[in-house]
Amino acid sequence: MRDAIERIRRDGYSTVLKELATRIPHISTNITPIFVSQQDIPVVIPNAVVTNAHDWESLFAGVKTITVNGCDDYQKELLDLSRFSELEELKIGAKCFNYVSHVRIVGLKRLRSIEIGENGLQNESSDSELVIQNCPSLVSLSISRNSFKGFRAMKLSELNALKTIGIRYHCFRKADLVVKDMRSLESISIGDGCFEDSRHTVIESVSLKKG
């Protein structure tokens, strides 16, 4: 499939369609080239595995599952997943994205689960924050120990399908917590040392349902 797309991009027309036209007498073989770009043809890749920053930067926007096994060389401050409109599952392994100070997971309509490994996202900038917003299919959020430990804010909103939140110990030690618009919660688990130095907490429109 990808080879066919690349040939169309390179040649400007489909050789299959041109050959078909030569076999049908009443169709002209003088085919006007139709130029296409990556935006014209959506490319959907079911699963992607990331091991470094180059892998991350090269990901197709149509990927459905992202598994990050290593990305300690990613040196940008912003990690924005908004372009992955087809994303359903995100798994970030241990010790990844330690230069990142702003994580934005916003407007992903198909995203169902987020899993963050231990000892990741260690930036301690004064404006560092995790924002997860307007992901109406998100069901589970899991964060392992010592991740985001120096982040200053965790903002969750418009996550009305979210059922479980699990945060292991020593995460978000200094973070302010803002939680809004979550009406399907069944369980929240927060480990020792989380939010222990939080100065500001907002909880609005949240219903904790029995499982």
Amino acid identity for residue 66 in this structure: I
Answer whether 175's CB lies under 8 Å from 152's CB: yes
| Residue with the larger pLDDT of the pair 57 and 13 | 57
pLDDT tens digits for 150-166? 999 999 999 999 999 99
Q: What is the pTM of this model?
A: 0.77
CB atoms within 10 A of CB 37: 7
Q: In this predicted structure, what is the pLDDT of residue 20? A: 43
pLDDT tens digits for 22-45? 554 444 444 444 444 555 555 567
Which long-range contacts does 146-150 make (Cβ < 8 Å, 24+ apart)? Answer: 146/118, 146/119, 146/170, 146/171, 147/116, 147/117, 147/118, 147/119, 147/120, 147/121, 147/171, 148/116, 148/120, 148/121, 148/172, 148/175, 149/122, 149/173, 150/122, 150/123, 150/124, 150/125, 150/174
pLDDT above 90 covers a percentage of the chain that reads 67
| Residue with the larger pLDDT of the pair 144 and 34 | 144
pLDDT tens digits for 178-194? 999 898 999 889 999 99
| pLDDT exceeds cutoff 80 at 19 | no
CB atoms within 10 A of CB 173: 19
Q: In this predicted structure, what is the pLDDT of residue 23? A: 52
